[in-house]
A and B are shown apart, each in its own frame.
Chain A
Amino acid sequence: QVQLQESGPGLVKPSETLSLTCTVSGDSINNYYWNWIRQPPGKGLEWIGNIFYSGTTDYNPSLKSRVTILVDTSKNEFSLTLRSVTAADTAVYYCATSRVGAPYFDCWGQGTPVTVSS
């Protein structure tokens, strides 16, 4: 059973860059798509984007200009970079798996809260 763990700063200043890492254990990073999803306080879920182990990415058009997702297969981890953040980017950020041919999210990390504030 794959397990996911998010890590990164809990506080980011406006206009700066948010960087998070998701560490994968229990299975090879080569078997899944690796997703980032966020949830603002008291609100619903928003899919940010994903990456396949080959490096192929797919981003939500609403965030595409500010997002980069990378994978490091040697470390069994993948990362999220979100540039030029504002208070609207304050959220709990989750990493999650989806499988080839099954683009729903079957395994999730516990989530990491990120606050954008000066």
Chain B
Amino acid sequence: DIQMTQSPSSLSASVGDRVTITCRASQGISNSLAWYQQKPGKAPKLLLYAASRLQSGVPSRFTGSGSGADYTLTISSLQPEDFATYYCQHYYTPPRTFGQGTRLEIK
């Protein structure tokens, strides 16, 4: 199985900050990467797919980039509703696996 490692595991930031979350796969995954946002007690929500494509309805302050085995999610200007846990997920080969999550907290 391809292992996905996110960093940091947790992050404190303020409204208006720019933050970046990293996801590293145990091998190259050819941009076969999705990002999700999960708020407490809620189901995850798809933010981006194909590493950089924004899901319909997701604000443009969320951007994704990367290649090979290394990918990033950037939030350009944090809004109060962005404080949540973020997960990456590869879909290069079965089984699809998720990163362990990055918890984004208010400073």
Q: Which residues of A contact B (CB under 8 A)?
A: 44-47, 58, 60-62, 94, 96, 102-106, 108-111
Given A45-B87, A104-B34; A58-B94 close (CB under 8 Å): yes
> Are B34 and A44 neighbours in the complex by a CB distance under 8 Å?
no
> Are B99 and A104 neighbours in the complex by a CB distance under 8 Å?
no
> Are B46 and A106 neighbours in the complex by a CB distance under 8 Å?
yes
Q: CB < 8 Å: which of A47, A62, A103 contacts B98?
A: A47
Residue of A nearest to B55 (CB): A106
> Are A108 and B45 neighbours in the complex by a CB distance under 8 Å?
yes
14 contacts between A and B (CB under 8 A): A44-B99, A44-B100, A44-B101, A45-B36, A45-B44, A45-B87, A45-B101, A58-B94, A62-B95, A96-B43, A104-B96, A105-B44, A109-B43, A111-B43
A-side interface mostly: strand
Mark out the residues of chain B between 33 and 47 whose CB falls within 8 Å of any chain A CB in the assembled complex. Answer: 34, 36, 42-46
CB distance from A7 to the nearest CB of B (A): 15
Chain B CB within 10 Å, residue with most, of A47, A62, A94: A47
> Are A104 and B94 neighbours in the complex by a CB distance under 8 Å?
no
Residue of B nearest to A47 (CB): B96
B-side interface mostly: loop
B97 at the interface (CB under 8 A from A): yes
Q: CB < 8 Å: which of B45, B55, B96, B98 contacts A44?
A: B98
Q: How far is the CA of A47 from the CA of B46 in the complex (A)?
A: 15
Contacts of A58 in B (CB 8 A): 94
CB distance from A91 to the nearest CB of B (A): 13
B71 at the interface (CB under 8 A from A): no
> Are B91 and A104 neighbours in the complex by a CB distance under 8 Å?
yes
Given A108-B43, A108-B45, A110-B43; A103-B91 close (CB under 8 Å): yes
Q: How far is the CA of A45 from the CA of B84 in the complex (A)?
A: 15
Digitize B13-46: 1 where CB-to-A-CB distance is under 8 Å, 0 elsewhere.
Answer: 0000000000000000000001010000011111
